[in-house]
Structure 1
Amino acid sequence: MSAFQPAPSPFAPQGTAFAAPGCRCHVVVAEGRALVSSAAAGTALDCDGALAAIASSRSIVWEGAAADLFRERLDGMRAPIDGLDVDAGATLRLADTAGA
């Protein structure tokens, strides 16, 4: 690839959306929404898995300063994980309403 050519985009077929007859905008938007939907669904699954792992770590029989620090750090991850899940849902809603 020449240094003067744009890098291929993973979001649209090669070439510009306006090069072919007719506007491909709706196709590109639909593909973008599908990518956002897939990413949001994956994020929700990952967040659920992380929260389940944190919850199951409570059943580990372990005492002492290291155990306390371990649990404290895991508990500290709850809020960022919840925030990520909320943000992914908000992004999905935004993508669903864009252009509606």
Structure 2
Amino acid sequence: MKRHEYFVYILTNFAKTVLYVGMTNNLSKRLAEHNEKLNPESFTSKYNCCHLVHWESYQYVREAIAREKEIKKWRRSKKEALIAEYNPGWKFLNEEVLGN
């Protein structure tokens, strides 16, 4: 039986001034979609959020949705602390996920 995997992720722009929290079942595909700016009216397109700085993996979609909602409610300072805990230098993680 195939194991399902869902991801909660945080993107930022190059200057790291904007944060976006999302959820997907295919992180590499979703990152590519953000990079391609398929929807020019979307938040990530308008603010050039395509740099991955944090992600978490979940087996169950309900857990991932709940976590995404939880993080979205946080103040920016708490989101920054979460990122810094696992990625202290706020390194862009796109290449690690995409395997480039």
**TM-score, normalised with respect to structure 2:** 0.25
**TM-score, normalised with respect to structure 1:** 0.25
Higher helix fraction (1 or 2): 1
